[in-house]
Structure 1
Amino acid sequence: MVLDMSPIARKPSAVRLATSDALRQLPPRRPEPARVEGDVRWELVDVDRYEVREGEVVLGYVDVVGAVFVALGGPWYSAAVELRQTLRFDEAIQTLRSTRRH
């Protein structure tokens, strides 16, 4: 098989341009790791997973799935329950904080 590498074949299509523009508008995929907000801190514990703690208590986890942050409540990941999906990491953290208060 011979690939056509002429300038016409390499010219980006309208679909590629629209897709790349849409991808640039998505929120950043990962927040800064190991940050502290008051008594709540989070750190990267797997490729796309953050563990969220308040003091020494594990509030839950935030999975990064594409541009979506999935808040999972519970001290053990294997038994954590999905609470919310959001495009903002701080909203996922706030969801886990609010479950601690109830």
Structure 2
Amino acid sequence: MRSRVVPPLRDLPPRRPAPPAPDDSVIRWERIDIDRYEVRAAGVTVGFIDVVGAVFVALAGARYDRAVEALQTLDFAVAVEAISPPDAERPTA
């Protein structure tokens, strides 16, 4: 059995802002704070993504104060997918 070495979070590079969603995408995201994105599907808010160091924390819910953590990941596209409706077009960020 092989072990996989994962660098500690402090050794990972800080995150840069995610590029905008493609113009033809049903799933859209917008940076609403220095470390937070709002994710919309067909114009309806489906969740938020908080940037915590090198980690993207996906929160599912239409209101930030009631959103529930769905996933923590190092990949922005995975975070968007985690809170997108199952029938929505997949993000390519």
- TM bracket (short chain): 0.7 to 0.9
Offset, 1:85: 0.1
Q: 2:46 corresponds to which residue?
A: 59
Matching of residue 95 in structure 1 with residue 86 in structure 2: no
Give the gaps of 5 or more residues in structure 1. Answer: 1-21
Task: Tell which structure's C-alpha radius of gyration is larger.
Answer: 1
Match of 1:78 among 65, 80, 84: 65
Q: Which runs of 4+ in 1 moved over 4 A?
A: none
Which is richer in helix? 1
Structure with the larger RCO, 1 or 2 (CA within 8 Å, 6+ apart): 2
Say which SS state the counterpart of residue 38 (structure 2) adopts. Answer: strand
Identity %: 46
Residues 15 and 53 of structure 2 are in contact (CA less than 8 Å); yes or no, is this contact kept in structure 1?
Answer: no
Give the gaps of 5 or more residues in structure 2. Answer: 1-10, 88-93
Residues 30 and 64 of structure 1 are in contact (CA less than 8 Å); yes or no, is this contact kept in structure 2?
Answer: no
Q: How many residues align?
A: 77
Match of 2:21 among 26, 29, 35: 35
